[in-house]
Structure 1
Amino acid sequence: ANIAGLVQGTQYQVRVKAHNAEGYSYPVVAAPGYLSPKVASSAPFNGTFFALSTTQLKLVWQTPLNLGGAPIQRYRVEWDLSPDFKNVDSTGSRAEFDAPQNCYDINLPAASSHL
């Protein structure tokens, strides 16, 4: 059976009963007993970066408070000279890596070391 109208991030318990001419049976709880629709996590927080040298930054952050019902698998770090990150796609200024890493060293070309 399809159950519509679920609210994301809310836990549900599901059970089923059989029905015949004599009435309904006792219910059985469907496995898994609790189902929480998965959503994207909240954002990492307390993100801070500082200079390690004139061409290298270190970025550190804390794991999101709300994991969205599933463990964090990967992080993406992006950097740009523009505050709206409009150049990330054209410059390739990004890195992805598997969790649980909570810091990343960014090596900058000398031309952009004034970040």
Structure 2
Amino acid sequence: MEPSLDDGGIPIEYYIVEKMDVESGRWLPSGRFKEPFAELNNLVPGQEYKFRVLAVNTEGESEPLNGDKSIIAKNPFDEPGKPGTPEAVDWDKDHVDLVWKPPLNDGGSPITAYAIEKREKGTDKWIKAAGSIGPI
């Protein structure tokens, strides 16, 4: 949504942002903002919302401008896919060097580290083998 191009000849004092929970269909005020920017908190994760904005000056409120799309309140990134199968390239009695391929899907955000786990032969319990390490 773009800021109003016409202030009616009187400067805009603030903007009113409203949100609609798509499930209920009711518009609710989310806040007043001096600038044409709003960071809205306390959305319910997984809930679908629509937004609209009204410009306000001393003569009153504009008609609302509705956003083009609804959004679902969630992190815009997903968890990455699994990395490739680790392969031991060097080892002795007390260490191993592993290599693997990065995941095919990074979830929309660069991979920043890998968690390395190990389990002893004959057990089902995995434990951290090293701290998180950066991509290889």
The structure with the largest alpha-carbon Rg is: 2
Q: With structure 1 as the length reference, what TM-score do the two structures score?
A: 0.48
More helix by share: 1
